[in-house]
Structure 1
Amino acid sequence: MATDRLDEVLDAAYDCLRRYGVRRTTMDDIAASMGVSRSAVYQYVRNKDDAFRRLAGRLHEQALRRAGAAAEADAPAEVRLYGILAAKLDLVLRLSQDSPHAAELLDARARLFGTICTSFTTDLRDLLTALFAAEGTVEGVEPRQAADICVALVVGLESVPGARALLRPATTALAAGLLGTGRTAPPAPPTIEGTAR
């Protein structure tokens, strides 16, 4: 029962976040959104910062569970790779599309959410590294490097129009370029000396 009420508090906090942002939201706003008194909200969270930290944690945990389920699925490596990357991209796009304020929950530099965002990215990178370690990578690319390339791709897609549609062909390209045994990574392009800076 207490978990249900906490979820209601976090849902109300999200509703307020979408409308007002973190700074402008008050505990009274959260209580009004729930239709309860402010003292009732204090039974479940210490203050609004605690409510928003818990909200960010819940959203990131849900996305990580989806990524973990994709990683453990009985499916080809490319399908699992897509599922892991889609979990991150969907979290970002959902929050960004709900409201410009909701994207505040994704700010790794933010005092309230920084450790949650950083931990999520680390856990996601670990899932990807494990996938590449189990499936093998092309010669010259370590599993951790392959994971970093994948994370960088998703971060790049986060601000591109049509990102969801681009994720599938991007994943196919990543799988073709990074997965495999006995294949060799393409040589590094030559450096151009004497270019103007």
Structure 2
Amino acid sequence: MSAKNASPAVDVATAHALIANNPDTLIVDVRTPGEYDSAHVPGSINLPLDQVDAHLGRIVDDAGGRMLLICQSGARATQACTKLVNAGLPAATVVTGGMNAWITAGGPVERGRERWSLERQVRLVAGAIVLLSIVISIWVPAARFVAGFIGAGLTFAALSNTCAMGMMLTKLPYNRGAACDVDASLARLRAPGLRA
């Protein structure tokens, strides 16, 4: 796709067919290492969204075949795919619905220590801040503006398909999980034989 912000996408059934028909298809999981450790598609690599910009040139240069991008629900994979397609990598495709759809469809999953998804963490933090600011506003009326600020941030996040709070939460030790070896993940882009 040549249009800016256009991200090619396939559903889970089509992704399964692509993988079955082309064993060199690489599944790139752009979630946090903590989310990846919790559950991921067997044979996938972890390249968190916050690392895509830093390594964009290398990803585009080294990618040697079809790349399926997956996250929890599809939003982060879409952001990564848009960046890759706009940088000249036409073989990048988003798995629509992400891991949520993959698991629902009965796709194979390697499980580790269960962790909350980033989206669930954002709901918890945003909800807690709003609730706390409303309670505090009983004594300090200006505290209600904090709730308004969070509401405005969530509205902007929905309209722009980005989330500043989510990006901040990715930096927490809880979400870092086992350290993601970005160099090893990038090396697998170039070496199809190491993809399985």
Check whether TM > 0.5: no
Structure number with the higher helix fraction is: 1
> How high is the TM-score relative to the length of structure 1?
0.26
Higher strand share: 2
TM norm structure 2: 0.26
| Pair member with larger Rg | 1
